[in-house]
Amino acid sequence: MQVSVIIPTKNGGKYLSLLLKRLNEQTFKPNQILILDSGSNDDTLKICKEFKVDFIQIDIKNFDHGGTRNLGASKAVGNVIVFMTQDAIFSDTRGLENLIQPLHDNQIAASYGRQIAKENANPIERFVRSFNYPSERMVKGIEDLPKLGIKTFFFSNACSAIKKTAFIEVGGFPNRTIMNEDMFLAAKLIMKGYKVAYQADAVVYHSHNYSLSTQFKRYFDIGVFFSQNHWIKGIAKSEREGIRYLKEEILFLFAERRTIWIPYALIDTGIRFFGYRMGLLEKRIPLFLKKRMSFNKLFWEYGNL
């Protein structure tokens, strides 16, 4: 098995050095590390030169969550493509080995790792990571749709591995997508009859303390994604997921003795829901407002015209 690691960057210097150092320490050595940089003006380029990784510079106008990763995949020398984000750090030296292990199974086309919140994460973010990334391994297929609903297609490019043949077979990521290119790919693979593995022992540190306004913008973009990809919601229902999320979040805050965060959690959840609903209605919203409401403003500037 040959592995190419693809990492899109934009001013990623804060964590990139540690990320690359940890990749070099893995028990399974990648055959290629490729950085796709969209106009960094920090020390990202210097770090890439120090670690002697492959490097492609792209114009910020050409960045796209799906299309840029497709570009990286087209340059991959490996038969397995690992996608990571610039701020996801393996917690130990066996992370990459554990991540690709399920791909020895002919039925499994892709896998993704567990994300644990960083030390500075607030209680809400710690819960989000534990909710989406439990401690038990899981393999998901089309037969899980009645039970898991939209969670069947949950997948994250912060730390994922995909067989190149399967990636090509389903057409890779969508070009010109606002976000959720990873869920789109997982849905395509699963509907094609493949399985996707959640590998709980492939652990990365990855979290963000987003403000309420940023949460609105992110969930607006999620709503836009589903508005533009009706087929996913038509296959996998998501209505109950929000209710389950809120119930478990409150129980988590009680268990952590952080009940002071419950009012914030209620507001946070409400803002996410409102942003998501607004995103679903994006076709009725003027372009200038969508630019203000969106986290991915480049999509409206260059990607959706």
Tokens of 71: 């570009």
Rounded distance, CA 250 to CA 59, Å? Answer: 43
Angle at 205 between CA 199 and CA 208, to 5 degrees: 120
pLDDT recorded at residue 113: 99
Cβ proximity of 35 and 69 under 8 Å: no
| Domain extent listing, the chain | 3-205, 212-303
Which CATH class for the 3-205 domain?
alpha beta
| Across 171-181, average pLDDT | 96
Question: Which H, E and C letters describe the chain, residue by residue?
Answer: CCEEEEEEECCCHHHHHHHHHHHHCCCCCCCEEEEEECCCCCCHHHHHHHHCCEEEECCHHHCCCCHHHHHHHHCCCCCEEEEECCCCEECCCCHHHHHHHHHHCCCEEEEEEEEECCCCCCHHHHHHHHHHCCCCCEEECHHHHHHHHHHHHCCCCCEEEEEHHHHHHCCCCCCCCCCCHHHHHHHHHHHCCCEEEEEEEEEEECCCCCCHHHHHHHHHHHHHHHHHCHHHHHHCCCHHHHHHHHHHHHHHHHHCCCHHHHHHHHHHHHHHHHHHHHHHCHHHCCHHHHHHHCCCHHHHHHHCC
Query: Does the pLDDT of residue 305 top 50, yes or no?
Result: no
Mean pLDDT of the chain: 95
pTM for the predicted model, two decimal places: 0.94
Instruction: Please state, in angstroms and rounded to a whole number, the distance separating the CA atoms of residues 87 and 14.
Output: 8
Is residue 304 scored above 70 in pLDDT? Answer: no
CA distances from 250 to 90, 148, 210, 218, 245 (A): 29, 21, 19, 22, 9
Q: What pLDDT, in 10s, does the model give residues 12-53?
A: 999 999 999 999 999 999 999 999 999 999 999 999 999 999
CA distance 144 to 140: 6
**199: pLDDT strictly greater than 90:** yes
- C-beta separation of 253 from 259 below 8 A: yes
Is residue 97 within 8 Å of 211, Cβ to Cβ? no
The C-alpha atoms of residue 65 and residue 181 are separated, in whole angstroms, by 7
* The pLDDT value given to residue 241: 78
Neighbours of 121 (CB within 10 A): 18
Tens of pLDDT along 222-271? 999 999 999 998 887 766 778 889 999 999 999 999 999 999 999 999 99
